[in-house]
Amino acid sequence: MSPTRIPEATVARLPVYLRALNSLLEGDTRTCSSEELATAAGVNSAKLRKDLSHLGSYGTRGVGYDVEYLRYQIAREIGLTQDWPVVIVGIGNLGHALANYSGFTSRGFRTVALLDADSARQGELVAGLKIRPFTELSAIVREHGVAIGVIATPAAAAQSVCDHMVDAGIRSILNFAPSVLTVPAGVDVRMVDLSSELQILAYHEQRKSAPATPDPLDPGVVA
Amino acid sequence: MSPTRIPEATVARLPVYLRALNSLLEGDTRTCSSEELATAAGVNSAKLRKDLSHLGSYGTRGVGYDVEYLRYQIAREIGLTQDWPVVIVGIGNLGHALANYSGFTSRGFRTVALLDADSARQGELVAGLKIRPFTELSAIVREHGVAIGVIATPAAAAQSVCDHMVDAGIRSILNFAPSVLTVPAGVDVRMVDLSSELQILAYHEQRKSAPATPDPLDPGVVA
DNA sequence: CTCAGTTTGTTCCCACGTTCACAAACTCTT
DNA sequence: AAGAGTTTGTGAACGTGGGAACAAACTGAG
Ligand SMILES: NC(=O)c1ccc[n+]([C@@H]2O[C@H](COP(=O)([O-])OP(=O)(O)OC[C@H]3O[C@@H](n4cnc5c(N)ncnc54)[C@H](O)[C@@H]3O)[C@@H](O)[C@H]2O)c1
Ligand SMILES: NC(=O)c1ccc[n+]([C@@H]2O[C@H](COP(=O)([O-])OP(=O)(O)OC[C@H]3O[C@@H](n4cnc5c(N)ncnc54)[C@H](O)[C@@H]3O)[C@@H](O)[C@H]2O)c1
């Protein structure tokens, strides 16, 4: 009974719930209350219940949730019952790490190709895959039905790589380059900016140590 | 005239504005309107103006913003006029990439130590720094006044590493391990979960290709 | 000086997200 | 079978954030 769209904030938390449920299953927990699951996921239990209610009514009042069943329902909602072919472009420091990351494959994603524009890198074997020329993107997307692309190139190349991805038919992009990407409607971009994360931490850190901002340039309350 | 707290959503965008301003400066732009800057940052111009108004009145009506001056003000607000010593714990695939990432150093952060529990890795030279034993954490934090720590260990070790960081005096943590961290009040944790990002993309991707959800188990509209 | 043109800072309103609190629905004991 | 104890799902209150729209403040020309 969920023909309605799921709120974006809820969607962003579903992967967290999925992780928590997997942890519980490893500990042989068959059933759990919203309180337990919320604690494991690090959220408020009311929020958890409301989130889950958007997917449907998968719990039992007075009892809780069947861990295995709920996990399946969330996985189905996200679309992890199939697995998604992914290409990674830009196999430098970060690209190598991503290619070697087992967490992607174990969570419904399959890296089908590693691409790089630098001919010196091509042919190198990373995590069992050969690095291939960027020009093969289009053929690879067609062959494997790739819908998701990861950009791990320098910022200067990101928009160009993005454009080629879109042309090739990729409709979802995960961007690690610190650069704003422009895409046509219908294409999703998610940006992961590690420097921004540190800067946000720095902002709060500064506020902790200096409760009263001195700032010699600021005249204070303008009288 | 900004003694008020800056909204969290605004804080999260300040790094983006900073990047955009740096780009403009490289292109020798001395002055810019909110419209220009908003486009460069990929946001709505009204939102940009409201964000900046939280920092103070740094623009000139009818003219726009002085790029250099605004950049300084944002940097000061975030706390990037000083630079922040950072330790990275867990120098595996991802830790290596982070250690080699120049984007951190160029944006006000200085990696002062790389730590790993695996004695086989210790002594290895990465990005000009020797990998040191995790047990030295406390001494390093004291010596350099480290306030920010990065966790790039497996999920199983993350909470333990986190606890040691907090004991050592670290009050801001960037966590790459897919694991919910419990910390005392006063400590900030930001989580970067790459698998979650892909899963969120997968959710939307699924909705694109299948406008009408079939789902043989669902009886559809309950009549 | 005045007026037209430009752009900021801010106000107002709406949509979304979070949290509390509670009725509805279940289990288990007696 | 009834009542006590649990726990879900949701309605309602509250807070935060986004965007349109506009007055205030500047520039520059005549
Ligand atoms: N290394 C990190 O930990 C880290 C952290 C945060 C963000 N980033 C960002 O991720 C991106 C990659 O970082 P990195 O350290 O791996 O850089 P890198 O220089 O080591 O690797 C970049 C790779 O992209 C390839 N490349 C360049 N232009 C290309 C193009 N047009 N098409 C295809 N491939 C191309 C290069 O040949 C190189 O192999 C950068 O934008 C960086 O800012 C990196
Ligand atoms: N590799 C990636 O691209 C990637 C992407 C997303 C998330 N992650 C997450 O980042 C983390 C690291 O990933 P990785 O691929 O680098 O793993 P890895 O196994 O290559 O590296 C982990 C490192 O942590 C060290 N370590 C283990 N326990 C420790 C402890 N208690 N104290 C200090 N150091 C310890 C290990 O010796 C090893 O060097 C994992 O949690 C992973 O899920 C990695």
Among the four given CATH numbers 3.10.20.30, 1.10.10.10, 2.40.50.100, 3.30.460.80, the one describing domain B8-77 = 1.10.10.10
CB contact under 8 A, A202 and B80: yes
- What percentage of chain A exceeds 70 in pLDDT? 92
Q: How many CB atoms lie within 10 A of CB A142?
A: 11
According to the model, what pLDDT value does residue A209 have? 80
According to the model, what pLDDT value does residue A210 have? 67
Exposed (0-12), middle (13-18) or buried (19+): which is A90, by Cβ within 10 Å?
buried
Cα B132 from chain centroid (whole Å): 24
Chain D bases closer than 7 angstroms to a protein Cβ: 5-11, 16-21, 24-27
According to the model, what pLDDT value does residue A3 have? 55
**How sure is the predictor about A214, in pLDDT bands with cuts at 50, 70 and 90?**
very low
For domain A84-196, give the CATH number.
Answer: 3.40.50.720
Mean pLDDT, residues B65-94 taken together: 97
Closest approach of chain B CAs to the CA of A136, in angstroms? 23
Mean pLDDT, residues B124-150 taken together: 98
Residues of chain B with CATH 3.40.50.720: 84-196
Pocket of ligand 2 (CB under 6 A): A 97-98, 100-101, 103; B 89-95, 116-118, 121, 134, 152-155, 157, 160-161, 176-178, 194
Which residues in chain B are closer than 8 Å to A100, comparing Cβ atoms? Answer: 93
The minimal CB distance from A108 to the residues B100, B200, B202 is found for: B202
Res. A60: pLDDT tops 90 = yes
- At B77 the three-state DSSP class reads helix
Cβ-contact A73, A14 below 8 angstroms: no
Res. B97: pLDDT tops 70 = yes
Q: Is A170 an 8 Å CB contact of chain B?
A: no
Q: Is B197 an 8 Å CB contact of chain A?
A: yes
Cβ-contact B173, B181 below 8 angstroms: yes
**What is the rounded CA–CA span in Å between residue B102 and residue B109?**
10
Res. B15: pLDDT tops 70 = yes
- Name the residue of B87, B88, B93, B190 to mutate for ligand 2: max ligand atoms within 8 A of Cβ: B93
Q: Residue B90: what are its φ and ψ, rounded to 5°?
A: 100, 85
Res. B3: pLDDT tops 70 = no
Residues of chain B with CATH 1.10.10.10: 8-77
Least confident of A99-113, A178-192, B154-168: A99-113
Q: How many angstroms separate the CA of A128 from the C1' of C16?
A: 45
According to the model, what pLDDT value does residue A145 have? 97
- At A182 the three-state DSSP class reads coil
Q: Is B214 an 8 Å CB contact of chain A?
A: no
| Strand positions, DSSP E, A45-100 | 59-60, 64-66, 84-89
**How sure is the predictor about A107, in pLDDT bands with cuts at 50, 70 and 90?**
confident
Indicate left, alpha or beta for B62 from its phi (over 0: left) and psi (-120 to 50: alpha): left
Relative to the CA of A118, which ligand 1 atom is closest? 37
Least confident of A103-112, A178-187, B54-63, B109-118: A103-112
How far away, in angstroms, is A93 Cα from ligand 2 center?
15
In chain A, the N- to C-terminal Cα span, in Å, equals 60
pTM to 2 decimals?
0.94
Res. B200: pLDDT tops 60 = yes
- The alpha-carbon radius of gyration of chain A (Å, integer) is 22
Please list, residue by residue across B99-137, b when 16 or more beta carbons sit within 10 angstroms of its beta carbon and e when fewer do.
Answer: bbbebbeebbbebbbbbbbeeebbeeebbeeebbebeeb
Please list, residue by residue across A110-131, b when 16 or more beta carbons sit within 10 angstroms of its beta carbon and e when fewer do.
Answer: ebbbbbbbeeebbeeebbeeeb
Both tokens of residue B37? 């800057």
